[in-house]
Amino acid sequence: MLTWVLVLIVGIIALGLFARMLSKLGLWRLPGDIRFTYKGREINLPIAFTILISAALTLVTRVFRI
């Protein structure tokens, strides 16, 4: 169980590090994501991306019966 938690944490960190590269490829911003600017800073709330990742992880866990 601890191994899966560590893998998940490393995956989230890697996704955060590659966020700029993913946005250049068009994979970061999906329809349903909320973007706004507040005090000169751009804030991104990736709601659709979160739902997509959640569905993918659910599918993987059901396939491998974790």
pLDDT at 66 > cutoff 60: no
pLDDT of residue 34: 82
Tell whether the model's pLDDT for residue 1 goes beyond 60. yes
pLDDT of residue 27: 66
Cα separation, 14 vs 1, in Å, equals: 20
User: Tens of pLDDT along 7-41?
Assistant: 888 877 777 777 767 777 766 677 777 888 888 88
Tokens of 46: 């990736």
Give the model's pLDDT for residue 4: 79
Count of alpha carbons within 13 Å of 34, Cβ hemisphere only?
3
